[in-house]
Each structure stands twice: as structure tokens, then as C-alpha cells.
Amino acid sequence: MAFSLHSYPVVYRAKYGHQAWKEEYIEKPHKTPEEEAALGVPEQNALAASRNAYDDMPLVSYTTQYGLSCFEGLKALPQQDGGLAIFRPDQNAARFRRSMEGLMMPGFPEDSFVTACVETVKRNAALGFRPQYKKEWEQDSFISADSIYIRPFSYAEGGIGVALSQKPWVVVVTTPVSAYFAEGSSDAVITERIRATPKGTGWIKAASNYVISALAKHEANEAGFMECIYLDAVHRKYVEEGSSCNVFFYLKSGELVTPELGDTILPGITRASIIELARDRNIRVTERKIAIEEVFAEGKECFVSGTAAGATPIESLTYQGKKVVFNHGKTGDLTAEIRDTIKGIQYGTLPDTKGWMVKVI
């Protein structure tokens, strides 16, 4: 299933004007989940399309014309005890505010962000739109587990002519989601494309950043790779991140390295969580520049991280026709431990000693 446009019916929306945000919850057309599942594909698609339409939001806007928008991605996860909880929404709220302000929009209040995410999930769950915890997910470390993807995003007011958004909307939609990466090999390739440049918007979760990501990932997939990895724009030698995820390398020396944050690297929530968990285990974690030559010479394990990716192992990396295989093509011990710990906390099979999970129901 991965991502789905068959979003849940209850949507949050806020509009900025007169120095304040006007909020509302909208219940889009729906049947019961069981009735919807019994519909034919054309009827399901028509229902999904009706939920994805807003007559009062302009087609011609600074978002549709110039990509002036930012978004977030976070998950509500079914818990072993039958509830639902969201992973670190306060961190997404802070990044969303920074992103909006970085695009010179009015920043969305962080407390409103968290409340909107919790309440949207809760209202949809009350209508029956939610996944239920399955014991069998534990057998593959929740790689195949379902969750609710929460997508908050900004949408600009009507406009044409390059300008800034002063009266944006913020919308929160939720959709069912499963594993992001397809089963099979987890080979990656260094792309020749450049994701972000210094003094640009690489540190912002801007919609426009993902045009290059979509192209590069498609090219990688067409060439038989699961993922692509970017090098820096200036020196073309330092690893930066994946198509939509951060990247980690566990070196032969016992050092866990992830590229240092700057204006070309997105500060990932899962990235920060992994750094904290690794340091708890007395792993030497370093945020610094790492050249592709060092990765080839010293890399022992590699994995990518993100809301969708979790902590996904990379079995090999190809660059200019040369290939390095990590841990004999198998998931490394540290990668597995980090992945299993994060998933265990998220799905409630491990204690949340960090206070990362926010209960919905």
C-alpha cells in the first residue's frame, strides 16, 4: 500500500488573516470503512477524489505556480494495548513553524499543530478509520506494519507573479500507510543530481525540494536501485542525504557518522532520535562531513532514516561504476538494534522512557 490518496474523511484546516488563525474541522464524504472497502475500484477512486477537493481553495496560487509551500510527515501508530499514539509531534511542530518562517510566511503555532494532529486522528478513529494492532507485525520488526500517515501542509492564497504568501492555509490530512520501501534488494546509488545548494532551502521541508528528489529516485529505481544518495553541491564529494531521508554510516572504527546539519540538510526527527538512542548505548556518534571515499574505505553498515523509512538498511552503494557492499549484504547488528528499538517504542512493545509518544486514544 505505501502512501495512499484514499485519505480519511476528517480534515483539519486553518486560515491566516488579521494576525490570527481561524480553525475548522471538515468531515468530507464517507461511508463506514467496511462499506467503503466493499465498493468497486471506480467508486473508491471517486470517493477519494471527493475528499481531495476543496472548492474554496484557489487553483492559481503561489503554491501551484511557484511551489511556495512546506509540509510535514509524521505517524500515528496502533499500540499493543489497542490505542493510538503519535511519535514526537512536538518536534514536527517546531520544524513546521521554522519551515513556514523560512519561506517568510506567518509561522503556525506549535501547540496548535500538535492539537490539530491529535484531534484529526482521534475524530477519524471515532468513525472507524484507523488500523488495529496485529501481533504478526512483531515477527518482521514491524517492517510490514500499518500506521496512519499525518500530512500537515501549507497552501498559499490565490496569486500570480512571483511573491510571498501572507495569508496561507494550513491543512492536516491523514491516510493509511504501510512499508515505504518495496521488499527485495536495498541497493543504493549516488545520483549526479544536486538536491540543495548553500544559501538555499535544503534545511526547510519545502515542497519544491522534492521535485529533484522525485526525479532522482525515479532514475535510481529505473536503474534497479532502491534509493539514491546525494553528494554536496560545492565539492561533489561529501555525502548529504537520500531522496527523502537522512543517512548514517557505521564505520569499522566503531564510529557512527551522519552528515552534519547545515542549510543543505533536512534536520530529521528520526535522525535526531537515532543519535540519542545510539549515544545511550555508548556508541560514538559524530555529525560531520563524510566523503564518499571514506564511506567506501571504512563503511561497515549503512542505513537511511525518516518518518517513512524508519531505519532502513542499505546493503550496497554504487558510485561511478564502483560498488561497496556493507556487512556482506546483510542487515548489521547496530542497524537492526536501532531499527527494532525505534519500532518497539513507536508500537508500544518497548517502554517509552523518552516520553516521545503522544497518546491519541
Helix (H) or strand (E) holding 287: strand 284-287
Determine whether 28 is an active site residue. Answer: no
Amino acid making up residue 80: Q
Q: How far is residue 242's CA from residue 190's CA, in Å, rounded to a whole number?
A: 9
Residue 158 DSSP one-character state: B
Euclidean distance between the first and the last CA atom of the chain, given in angstroms as a whole number: 24
Contact of 347 with 77, CB cutoff 8 Å = yes
Q: Which of 205, 217, 300, 343 is catalytic?
A: 205
Per-residue HEC secondary structure of 174-229 comes to: EEEECCCCCCCCCEEEECCCCCCCCCCCCCCCECCHHHHHHHHHHHHHHCCCCEEE
Nearest to 165 by CA among 129, 207, 193, 123: 207
DSSP state of 109: P
DSSP state of 16: E
Burial status of residue 138 (CB atoms within 10 A of its CB: 0-12, 13-18, 19 or more):
middle
Q: What are phi and psi of 235, to 5 degrees?
A: -95, -20
Q: List active site positions.
A: 205
